[in-house]
Amino acid sequence: MAEILKIQPLTRDAFAPFGEVIETDPSAMRYINGGTTERYHALAEAEATGEDARVIINIFRGSPRTFPYAVDMMERHPFGSQSFSPIDNRPWLVVVAEDEGGRPGRPKVFRAGGRQGVNYRRNVWHHPLMTVGAVSDFLVVDRLGKGVNLVEYSYETPFVIEAP
Ligand SMILES: NC(=O)N[C@@H](O)C(=O)O
Ligand code: NI
């Protein structure tokens, strides 16, 4: 019997074991450009390791998932971090899991607001982009380089997200 996953709000503290939340956090703000610009400084760090590693900037155009949704797999990137920041100001879902002996544990689901992005630290288990409601663009910063930067794991029994 598939276990139903609860959805919790995305907060910096709740997400801290997995990475950073990319949002206009007042504690990170400093004025620049003669006071005309608010710089929300160093919200996260992009990491790229391994041979010929570079940090690249992409746009992912995600099609909305249909619900109830079966979370039957997770992935991680051994050579680099990966961040997603919504461009269309539409809420989306973030699914991560702690590592348990080299496998993802029970998924945790976070509801991200339309102005909240996340940075998955290197090797953090996560579900691929989970867009909600309509086709949505995301600015994605991740790693390019040699080697296979993707490890996937399939759960024996899927978990279910009933509704976003
Ligand atoms: N494949 C790819 O680049 N996307 C995934 O890594 C993802 O997390 O969406
Ligand atoms: Ni990924």
- Write the pLDDT tens digit of every residue in 78-108: 999 999 999 999 999 999 999 999 999 999 9
| For residue 68, cis peptide bond before it (omega within 30 degrees of 0) | yes
Cβ 74 under 6 angstroms from ligand 1:
no
Ligand that comes closest to the CA of residue 65: 1
Distance 124 CA to ligand 2 centre (A): 9
Query: How confident is the model at residue 28, as a pLDDT?
Result: 98
Ligand that comes closest to the CA of residue 130: 1
* Closest atom of ligand 1 to CA, residue 58: 3
Map residue 92 onto helix, strand or coil: strand
Cα–Cα distance measured from residue 50 to residue 133, given in angstroms and rounded to the nearest whole number: 37
Map residue 35 onto helix, strand or coil: helix
Q: Would the pTM count as exceeding 0.90?
A: yes
Which CATH superfamily is 3-161 part of?
Ureidoglycolate hydrolase (2.60.120.480)
Query: How confident is the model at residue 163, as a pLDDT?
Result: 95
ipTM of the complex: 0.95
**Ligand 1: which of 75, 122, 131 to mutate, most ligand atoms within 8 Å of CB?**
75
Cβ 130 under 6 angstroms from ligand 1:
no
Map residue 27 onto helix, strand or coil: helix
Name the closest-CA residue to atom 2, ligand 1.
Answer: 128
> What is the sign of the dihedral through the CA atoms of 120, 66, 8 and 111?
positive
Q: Which ranges of the chain have pLDDT less than 50?
A: none
Query: How confident is the model at residue 58, as a pLDDT?
Result: 99
